[in-house]
């Protein structure tokens, strides 16, 4: 499900990325990024993926700026805690940091970011993702790695998000 973001939405995502990254570093929040890209680019991709998810499911994104340590990115109408993971790789995997507790998030979603276009690939429930069998090292330390074919594909008005 491809979501097209407007130039204004993209600018907001970039501005929030700069602000959140600066706030986190000033407050000693340790960066747990799993890739080699610029931290601002990684933050921007994550924010635009969250915004696209909200746009697709008629939710309001969290636009706040404060020091963050894990947790959910947003809440669906079902009150499920949702964490949207972003990658720039079309065949990218959903990667969850190894120290995430299973009850911190209910649903992990994967989004592939290509400029201002975001492809919402699918989702997996936390208790199905955070399992020993999913632990792998992709070159940046161990993490829970979920391949795209293991994800439930999104449909418009996805019931796990919308409650319909």
If one counts every other C-beta atom within 10 angstroms of the C-beta of residue 69, the result is 9
Q: Give the distance, in angstroms, between the CA of residue 42 and the centroid of all CA atoms in the same chain.
A: 10
Q: What's the whole-model pTM score?
A: 0.85
pLDDT at residue 162 in the model:
56
pLDDT digits (tens, 9 = 90+) for 16-51: 999 988 887 776 666 555 556 788 898 899 999 999
- Sorting pLDDT into bands at 50, 70 and 90, what band is 157? low
CA angle at residue 46 from 42 to 50, to 5 degrees?
A: 170
pLDDT digits (tens, 9 = 90+) for 70-122: 667 767 767 888 899 999 999 999 999 888 888 899 999 999 999 999 999 99
Q: Give the distance, in angstroms, between the CA of residue 151 and the centroid of all CA atoms in the same chain.
A: 14
């Amino acid at each position: 499900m491809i979501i097209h973001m407007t130039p204004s939405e993209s600018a907001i995502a970039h501005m929030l990325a700069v602000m959140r990254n600066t706030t986190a570093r000033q407050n000693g929040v340790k960066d747990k990024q799993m890739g080699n890209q610029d931290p601002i680019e990684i933050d921007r991709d994550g924010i635009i993926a969250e915004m696209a998810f909200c746009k697709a499911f008629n939710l309001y994104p969290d636009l706040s700026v404060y020091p963050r340590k894990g947790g959910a990115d947003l809440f669906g109408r079902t009150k499920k805690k949702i964490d949207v993971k972003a990658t720039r790789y079309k065949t990218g995997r959903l990667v969850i940091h190894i120290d995430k507790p299973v009850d911190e998030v209910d649903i992990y979603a994967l989004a592939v970011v290509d400029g201002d276009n975001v492809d919402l690939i699918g989702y997996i429930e936390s208790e199905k993702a955070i399992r020993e069998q999913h632990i792998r090292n992709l070159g940046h330390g161990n993490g829970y790695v979920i391949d795209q074919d293991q994800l439930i594909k999104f449909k418009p008005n996805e019931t796990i998000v919308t409650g319909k």
